[in-house]
């Protein structure tokens, strides 16, 4: 198997061209040769007839009225023609050119024969063998009258075929030359065309080779690409666009991570540096240690959330399905925030339909609930309201967590799912909220075939609405749910 497209095309096309040209050449050669030989034979036959016409029967004796002046071709020294005639089987006449040599004697009866031979002068020649009748009388018109008693005389006439052979040989070489030339020229043209055709491929190859992950904005040039290659180039460009977007996202993500980790790191380093500037009393050291620990904890939480986001993005987060009552999950998670809500003087309305049996991954749901509750309690205005409601409807579990005092306008809503975006502009960054909560929650919700939608109006309600599929509850638990409901 030849790998090079160019070589393969060249070989196959050259073979095809050679075959066709050889076929044509052979045909031309044979038709020309047949035509030339027919003309030659015709001429030889005319010679023979001319010789035969000189014979006549005169008083029972055959006389050839051969006049060398009239037919000098049988006399001349250079390239003469020859003839010989016999009567049973004695030669009665031979052309002066023959001297005392013989031509092959044809059969007395039979068709005209042609035979190639070497002539007495050593040249290639052809001899015509025939026999002709001879009559005694002519009629009034001078034509032979067929006489059944008439004799037939075998006659051989020979002529040189050197000229014919030479012509044919020249024709043969001419054709061979032309055919070879045709093959070479077509091969060269093919190489040229193919080279031109593959030039864009070579250019694309160079372009692709020059692509670096640092320069993904480059695109392969489309204009003079052959139409056959265009789809490939377009697909490659499409791939590049997707890669560029993905790389840009990763780069900005890495930059965000670096940025988000640098600030708490700076806090740690500064706290240590400042603490060490002088001798301090024990409570001051304890305060510095506690503060550092809190910052470190935040960093840990952030890194874990980041890892989970990254795993969710990479599809590496396994879903462990389990039958759970979402109402219980809500109770469990809310217990962690009830105290904080109370301490902030928030009014809390909880309206959860129970049971709310789901076939889902409770750990993932727990993280989502934790984030939603955390946001609601942290971002509600002082003495504001937090409202939690959940119900099963149309085969979907639907949870709404809302708080008053939203700082996020409706236009900003799409950004709340961006990693590291903190919408709460008026509040101090206490280091508790990394800006990853909603981003992670949305990914987890989607992992569970669910969705989180946000509605918000500035200084009004901020509502996060989580919908999850009920999934495939076992028959028994569905029954139990129906009965207790």
Binding site for other proteins (CB under 8 A): 258-260, 262-271, 273-274, 277-278, 291, 294-295, 422, 424-431
- Give min distance, CB of 277 to other proteins, in A: 6
Instruction: Give the nearest distance from C-beta 189 to other proteins in angstroms.
Output: 55
CB 193, min distance to other proteins, A: 50
Nearer to other proteins among residue 343 and residue 428 (C-beta): 428
Closest CA to 130 of 102, 149, 158: 158
Give the nearer residue to other proteins in terms of CB position, either 52 or 267. 267
Would you say 260 or 400 has its CB closer to other proteins?
Answer: 260
d(CA 383, CA 344) in angstroms, rounded, equals: 7
Contact by Cβ (8 Å): 358, 474? no
Chain centroid offset of residue 301 CA = 48
Nearer to other proteins, 100 or 281 (CB): 281
What is the Cα–Cα distance from 470 to 279, expressed in whole angstroms? 61
Strand partners of residue 352: 390
Instruction: Count Cα atoms within 13 angstroms, Cβ side, for 153.
Output: 29
Residue 431, classed as helix, strand or coil, is coil
Q: How far is the CB of 269 from other proteins (least distance, A)?
A: 5
Q: Which of 88/277 has CB closer to other proteins? A: 277
Nearest approach, Cβ of residue 195 and other proteins (Å): 45
Nearest to 220 by CA among 284, 263, 133, 229: 229
At 406, give phi and psi (nearest 5°): -65, 140
Measured from the CB atom, the residue of 195 and 270 that comes closer to other proteins is: 270
Rounded to an integer, what distance in angstroms lies between the CA atom of residue 301 and that of residue 309?
Answer: 12
List the beta bridge partners of residue 62: 57
To 10 degrees, the CA torsion angle through 126, 132, 138, 144?
-90
d(CA 269, CA 226): 61
Q: Which is nearer to other proteins, 196 or 427 (CB)?
A: 427
Rounded to a whole number of angstroms, the minimum distance from the CB of residue 219 to other proteins is 24
Minimum separation from the CB atom of position 264 to other proteins (A): 7
Residue 177 has φ and ψ, to the nearest 5°, of: -60, -45
CA–CA separation, 419 vs 258, rounded Å?
13
Q: Which is nearer to other proteins, 82 or 379 (CB)?
A: 379
Minimum distance between the CB of residue 279 and other proteins, rounded to whole angstroms?
12
Distance CA 394, CA 459 (A): 32
């Amino acid at each position: 198997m030849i790998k090079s497209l160019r070589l393969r095309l060249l070989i196959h096309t050259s073979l095809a061209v050679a075959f066709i040209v050889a076929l044509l050449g052979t045909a031309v050669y044979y038709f020309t040769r047949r035509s030339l030989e027919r003309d030659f034979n015709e001429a030889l036959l005319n010679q023979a007839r001319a010789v035969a016409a000189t014979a006549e029967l005169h008083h029972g004796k055959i006389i050839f009225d051969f006049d060398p002046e009239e037919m000098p071709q049988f006399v001349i020294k250079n390239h003469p023609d020859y003839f010989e005639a016999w009567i049973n089987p004695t030669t009665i006449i031979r052309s002066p050119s023959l001297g005392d040599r013989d031509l092959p004697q044809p059969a007395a009866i039979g068709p005209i024969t042609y035979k190639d031979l070497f002539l007495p002068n050593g040249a290639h020649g052809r001899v015509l063998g025939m026999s002709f009748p001879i009559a005694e009388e002519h009629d009034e018109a001078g034509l032979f009258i067929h006489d059944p008693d008439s004799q037939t005389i075998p006659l051989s006439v020979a002529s040189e075929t050197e000229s014919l052979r030479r012509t044919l040989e020249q024709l043969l070489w001419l054709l061979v030359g032309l055919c070879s030339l045709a093959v070479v020229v077509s091969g060269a043209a093919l190489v040229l065309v193919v080279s031109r055709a593959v030039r864009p491929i070579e250019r694309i190859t160079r372009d692709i080779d020059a692509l670096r992950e640092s320069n993904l904005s480059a695109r392969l040039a489309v204009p003079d690409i052959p139409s056959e290659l265009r789809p490939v180039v377009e697909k490659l460009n499409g791939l590049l666009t997707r890669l560029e977007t993905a790389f840009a996202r990763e780069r900005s993500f890495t930059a965000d991570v670096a940025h988000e980790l640098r600030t708490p790191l700076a806090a740690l380093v500064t706290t240590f540096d400042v603490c060490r500037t002088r001798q301090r009393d024990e409570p001051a050291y304890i305060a510095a240690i506690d503060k550092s620990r809190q910052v470190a904890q935040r960093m840990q939480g952030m890194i874990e959330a980041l890892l989970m986001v990254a795993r969710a993005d990479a599809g590496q987060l396994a879903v462990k399905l389990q039958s759970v009552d979402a109402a219980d999950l809500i109770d469990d998670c809310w217990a962690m925030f009830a105290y904080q809500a109370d301490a902030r003087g928030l009014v809390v309305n909880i309206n959860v339909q129970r049971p709310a049996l789901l076939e889902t991954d409770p750990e993932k749901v727990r993280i989502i609930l934790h984030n939603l509750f955390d946001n609601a309690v942290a971002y509600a205005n002082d003495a504001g309201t937090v409202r939690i409601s959940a119900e099963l409807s149309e085969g979907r579990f639907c949870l709404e967590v809302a708080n008053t005092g939203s700082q996020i306008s409706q236009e900003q809503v799409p950004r709340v799912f961006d990693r590291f975006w903190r919408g709460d502009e008026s509040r101090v960054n206490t280091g508790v909220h990394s800006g990853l909560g909603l981003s992670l929650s949305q990914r987890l919700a989607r992992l569970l075939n669910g969705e989180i939608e946000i509605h918000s109006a500035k200084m009004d309600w901020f509502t996060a609405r989580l919908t999850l599929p009920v999934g495939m509850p076992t028959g028994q638990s569905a029954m139990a749910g129906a009965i207790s409901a």
